[in-house]
Structure 1
């Protein structure tokens, strides 16, 4: 029926009935089967015979007069040649697409990877930092579905030019892991990373550096001068005397020590097997007392992790001392070189190769490695004691018998 749409007239409508406003052409009110009253505006798209109905709202959430105002506004838009419903649908579609695109950008995927996976890793902060500095600024805004190999290659080119090939490969490894993780979640996504994108070869990166006797002495002397972090001198010396890797020693916990044996659990050892280290007297003396993390700057609550800053300070002290002594600058060295040096010192002390390899925690290959489960604890104890004795001799050598690593025996 036709009449004036107002509160009284619409509330008299029965389910299925409607009223067309006699003043604003196309303005309608209808009572639905549910009992609700819906306001709408019907119009013809300019230049066509197509009619469209656009909702104005539900009675109760808006009044009849408010609905009339909305209808007049839509009527004005139609008079100007616009298509209110079509434009609204297009706007909603565009917003949906933008939201979808935003959710599938590289940056969004990295966010999910960090939250669900990498944040649980000890290296999580390093991964996040590499994403922030090298990945997000270059490809973070791109849709993962539009990402091409060329985008990844150009990113790696820029990283290599600015930070070196090694850094480019580290970032590549992190991004590859994130993309592989996302491929498990999204069957539509295929990672653009392929073999051959790395900038270095593992063999080229393999280090062979071992520390000479005078370098060991210089490191020990410089450590005596370090006051912050307080745990660092003992930590570095422990690396050499136990031939452990950086994080293996940094994460040492009081619960892993049983008398004079330190057992690194399989959960945090590289070969995924428990590794028992009989501690020499010198190594045992380095470990601080405590019931939690032994090397810590937070009273044992967290394991020591400030490697870069502490190493830089140690290198500064070494450089200063060598310059004052008229010695050349010490060639670049890393904490992992201590592990390689310890293995060399064991050989120098006459420790059998098998025993030295077991002391390092290396897996013995072949049949012997499969069936020989003897712990070799006493053999390893002699090996670590011999290492400690050799280091002590290097630090305080006989005046007429200073021998450097690599010298003929």
Structure 2
């Protein structure tokens, strides 16, 4: 039936059971509003193709409103007048795009994927965010070391689940962590290729990988003494090839138990007296973290100022001029562990050592408070979205207690909580 369509009419028209209603617009020839018995509303625009075939384009309401629908039907009439078959052109363009996509190699996909990670469009969803520089750097390392040599030149459309499984098995036999890292990154890249319409589906959404064993390692007092003594000994450090900057960083990570990348990126502008404020972009949880600096921490900073001498970064790499990299930190710590003939451990075990000690009978801090210094993820809704406190007084009591215990363990004189306050420069607004 012919009807003068208005926004109110389109919005309020009701479906009829057992019927599909069609309302032809009296203002724009060829525009039809269709209403199914389930209440679905859409625009139908019919035209005759040059070969005499009747074509129809459709658009969904309310994504396309009345004004936009009229504009589209006018444009369509103009294209038909020029002798064009719009639907045939769209079908051909889509087919051509699929053919072109089939020519893309995994290296092409990787280039686009890493570019998308910089702006947070690497996958679909409402929780997508820009990848942290450290995470992205690690993914590029995995890509260059394990994925690109095997699949880089391959057309993405030709990858099969069987060969991906065989490749993951080979990596896992070399190192379980390499198998996990390689597969997880390849899966992300293939999912990215699906969202970009390069391939219709991920050839390997699920592949068995060896699960990581939960870490339970923490350092004993004797191990802490040995590590601290080596880091303080210039000759011993030289034997293990530990630079002054690396030694100071590994000590600071034990005194202020944040993650390696968070401590490595410490800048003088983040320090105000005996308080260190780590900006949200540098934190794993993307939330600003306020860390009290104890006497031992301030003494390490003073040594860093004298030895490193950089006016921006506390622990600047002499090679790159940038913060010491997590891979370099892990490698240096591994050399220390092997030199001292300790049971395998990593810098991340510092954090477990800290919490085990402060929450145990030695100090007796409740775990909920001990976690404050770790900046560990809190999945409580109120904590995430409503509680904006920094808990600096509570953190300082915990930090002071830990510093005193640590200095006693490594046989250095315990520092009081206040320590010497150094006037570090602050970033100008």
> What TM-score, normalized by structure 1, do the two folds share?
0.63
Kept in 2, the 8 Å contact 1:107–1:136? The answer is: yes
Count of residues in correspondence between the two structures: 288
Alignment-derived partner of residue 210 in structure 2: 200
Q: Distance in 2 between matches of 1:333 and 1:309?
A: 11
Q: Distance in 2 between matches of 1:101 and 1:355?
A: 53
RMSD, aligned CA: 2.9
Kept in 2, the 8 Å contact 1:243–1:343? The answer is: no
**Residue 312 of structure 2 corresponds to residue 297 of structure 1:** no
By how many angstroms is 1:382 displaced? 0.7
Kept in 1, the 8 Å contact 2:229–2:410? The answer is: no
Alignment-derived partner of residue 358 in structure 2: 346
Match 1:183 to one of 189, 194, 219: 194
By how many angstroms is 1:111 displaced? 3.5
- Aligned partner of residue 298 in structure 1, secondary structure: coil
Alignment-derived partner of residue 47 in structure 1: none
Q: Distance in 2 between matches of 1:343 and 1:133?
A: 35
Residue 331 and residue 294 in structure 1: after superposition, are their counterparts in 2 closer, same or farther (change >3 A)?
A: same
Kept in 2, the 8 Å contact 1:243–1:339? The answer is: yes
By how many angstroms is 1:198 displaced? 4.2
Residue 149 and residue 374 in structure 1: after superposition, are their counterparts in 2 closer, same or farther (change >3 A)?
A: same
In the alignment, structure 2 segments of 5+ residues that lack a partner are: 1-95, 119-130, 414-429
Q: Distance in 2 between matches of 1:254 and 1:171?
A: 36
By how many angstroms is 1:142 displaced? 2.5
Residue 187 and residue 130 in structure 1: after superposition, are their counterparts in 2 closer, same or farther (change >3 A)?
A: closer
**Residue 403 of structure 2 corresponds to residue 388 of structure 1:** yes
Match 2:375 to one of 361, 367, 385: 361
Kept in 2, the 8 Å contact 1:127–1:174? The answer is: yes
Kept in 2, the 8 Å contact 1:230–1:297? The answer is: no
Match 1:272 to one of 262, 277, 286: 286
By how many angstroms is 1:160 displaced? 1.3
Match 1:315 to one of 323, 337, 344: 337
> What TM-score, normalized by structure 2, do the two folds share?
0.61
Residue 373 and residue 141 in structure 1: after superposition, are their counterparts in 2 closer, same or farther (change >3 A)?
A: closer
Alignment-derived partner of residue 161 in structure 2: 149
User: How do 1:10-409 residues align onto structure 2 when only pairs under 5 Å count?
Assistant: 103-114=103-114, 117=117, 121-161=133-173, 163-186=174-197, 188-195=199-206, 197-201=207-211, 204-224=212-232, 225-227=236-238, 228-287=242-301, 288-289=304-305, 290-298=310-318, 301-305=321-325, 306-319=328-341, 330-347=342-359, 348-366=362-380, 369=383, 371-396=386-411
- Aligned partner of residue 262 in structure 1, secondary structure: strand
Kept in 1, the 8 Å contact 2:267–2:312? The answer is: yes
Q: Distance in 1 between matches of 2:224 and 2:199?
A: 55
In the alignment, structure 1 segments of 5+ residues that lack a partner are: 1-95, 320-329, 399-409
By how many angstroms is 1:345 displaced? 1.8
- Aligned partner of residue 277 in structure 1, secondary structure: strand
Structure 1 or 2, whichever has the larger Rg, is 1
Kept in 2, the 8 Å contact 1:102–1:108? The answer is: no
- Please list the CA deviations of residues 299-354 of structure 1 after superposition, one character each: whole Å capped at 9, or x if unmatched: 893101122442233224323xxxxxxxxxx1100000001101112123122333
Alignment-derived partner of residue 40 in structure 1: none
